[in-house]
Amino acid sequence: MASFGSTRIASEYCQVRVGGDAAALKGIMKLALEADVAARSAGKPSVLDTVFIAEHTDGFEAFAADLRQTAWDDILATSGLPREQLERVAWIYMQSKAVIACYGMGSRSIGLAPTMCSSWRIYYFWRGNIGRPGAGICPVRGHSNVQGDRTVGIDEKPKPEFLDRLGRAFGLRSTPRRRSQRRPRRRAMLDDRVKVFIGMGGNFVAAVPDKPMVEGAMRKLRLTVGVTTKLNRGHLVHGREALILPCLARSEIDFQKSGPQSVTVEDSMSMGTRRAGCSRRAASTSNRRLPSSAAWRGYSDGQDGRLAVVQDDYDLIRDKIEEVFPDLFKEFNAKVSADRRLSPGQRRFGTGLANLTVRLGFSCFAGSTKIRPAHIQKCCA
């Protein structure tokens, strides 16, 4: 900015059509497959990591057959990229010793998000970029620990089986209801259908694009509650009654009755680790309390008949997470205490082999020019 010029930060900029990401990746892998066949025919080393594919994957032949039968016209029309650019990107991919790719929240906010995320995984399997130093998948999720929230079931559309396990663990009875996404939530505030707003961290007012309208709607609410580690300007825009509830940052030392505590964080690499603070508390906080019930008594000393303290030992909270997700969080406390890599980093997969599924290989994109308008409308709604 100071030099009134620009700095080149990328050798290629691919303006992919909305919803065309997976088709672009399919084109790159199709080129890599063609290059591999040509290299083998000429007696040259394989372009693909054939050892990794043979030892750690299943379904390669079916996936390769799907690539061969996919027409270039469909790939180019859906991705929105010229073949010449895909060839340049594929050459960079094939020449790289290790590949690490980042994909953002937009890739998971479209109707074909499962296919898109799976496409990245297969993209890595193709040349063995899993469990290799300097390589891997790096989803950029925005706010801290967003992925961890989803992993433990925090979702606007919770699945019935999750609610059943949660109910059994805590003695609760939950009725599934569709929760509003950010845009419908703003509309409900503007229409006076929302009376209370509770924010867990962040700055909702500053994060939305239609800030003036949201500020006006926020001031009409009966109650606004902010749970936060530090103040921000969003706390100045509040309802008729407002509460600001301070909480510890994970960088602060948290010492409870059972000793020093640590929280669990799932980072962008899906690694769950303990995090203990190293800074002194900014201020003292009062005991956090919840109404007493059979489920919560295990978290307290049992001396208060009406209220139960829930902050004495965070290991007990992780035990409850394991109870709700027995397969995913088996031996949770022991695992987060150990210094270990994720199984894929050790080239171990839950099914024994990584599946190169044709359905997840975007065979649905063949001829997808017919569905693109409806798909774009759904994405932009």
Query: Mean pLDDT over residues 23-47, rounded?
Result: 93
Work out the pLDDT band at 381, boundaries 50, 70, 90: very low
CA distance 220 to 218: 5
| pLDDT at 226 exceeding the cut of 70 | yes
According to the model, what pLDDT value does residue 222 have?
93
Give the model's pLDDT for residue 342: 58
308-325: buried (b, 16+ CB within 10 Å) or exposed (e) per residue? bbbbbbbeebbbbbbbbb
Considering only 133-147, 250-264, 312-326, which range has the smallest mean pLDDT? 133-147
Residues 372, 139, 103: CA angle, nearest 5 degrees:
40
pLDDT of residue 303: 45
- CA angle, 222 as apex, 218 and 226 as ends, to 5°? 60
Instruction: Please report the domains of the chain, with CATH numbers, ordered by start residue.
Output: 21-130+348-380 (3.40.228.10)
Q: What is d(CA 72, CA 27) in angstroms, rounded to the nearest whole number? A: 8
> What pLDDT score was predicted for residue 120?
64
Report the alpha-carbon distance of residue 234 to residue 226 in Å, rounded. 9
What 8-state DSSP symbol labels residue 57? E
- Report how far residue 380's alpha carbon sits from residue 364's, in angstroms, rounded to the nearest whole number: 20
Q: At what angle do helices 21-41 and 60-69 cross, to 10 degrees?
A: 100
Across the range 111-137, mean pLDDT stands at 71
Taking alpha carbons only, the member of 102, 107, 76, 74 closest to residue 379 is 107
User: Residue 273 in 3-state DSSP?
Assistant: strand
pLDDT at 377: 33
241 pLDDT band (50/70/90 cuts)? Answer: very high
pTM of this structure: 0.58
pLDDT at 354: 66
> What are the CB-based long-range contacts (under 8 Å, 24+) for 260-263?
261/311, 261/313, 261/314, 262/314, 263/314
Distance (Å, whole) CA 236 – CA 112: 39
Q: Residue 133: is its pLDDT beyond 70?
A: yes
